[in-house]
Copies of this chain bind each other. A is one copy, B any other.
C-alpha cells in the first residue's frame, strides 16, 4: 500500500492524524497540488478523480475518499478503533462525521474555493471545471459560524464529539476548525466550550506532532 497525499491539504492531514492515532506507518508519495501534479496524465490514470488522499492498493488500484481510506485501515488494523466499537457506535460515528463534513468542512471549502483567485473555475475539486459563485463564499462563512455555534453547545456537555471517547469525528472536527484559518476565521471568543475542545485536540501528539 502507498498513500498519495499532499501534506498541507486538509483531507490529507485527516488521514495523517488518523494514522498517527492508530500507530500505523504507510509509505507515502507527495502529490504537489500547487504544481498541478494531481492533474497530470499519469496521476489521472491512477486516480481519475484527481484528488488526494488516495490509497494505492497492492494491485495498483486506487481507493479514494478520506473516510473510505480511514475506515478501511480501521478494519484491517483493528487495534484502537476510531470508527466506533459497536454497530451503534459505528453508526453514530458515520452520522456525526457526515454532519461535520457537510456543515463544517464543506462550509469552509465553499468559502475558500469560491473566493480565492487561484481557484478560479475550480470551485469544486475533481476533473470538471466550475466557476466560482461569490454568494456561495459568503454563505459558507455564515454556515461556518452556525456550525461553530452548534458545536459550542454540544461541547458544553460532551468531552468529545462522540460521547466519551476520541474518534475519527474529532479529527474531522479538528481539521474543520483548523481549516477555518484559511478563510481567516477563528473560534469566536465567547465559544468557550468549543475552544476547550479545540485546545484539547491540539495538544494530542498525533496533531501537535
Contacts and interface: CB of A to CB of B under 8 A. Distances in A.
A92 interface: yes
Copies in the complex: 2
A94 B65 contact: yes
A106 B65 CA distance: 16
Interface in A108-164: 124, 126, 128, 130-131, 133, 135-136, 139, 142-143, 146
Interface residues of A, number: 34
Contacts of A124: 143
A63 B146 contact: no
In this complex, which of A49, A76, A91 has the most chain B Cβ atoms within 10 angstroms of its Cβ? A91
A69 interface: yes
Contacts of A130: 139, 142-143
A133 B143 contact: no
A47 B94 CA distance: 16
A165 interface: no
Interface in A40-90: 49, 57, 63-65, 67-69, 71-72, 75-76, 87-88, 90
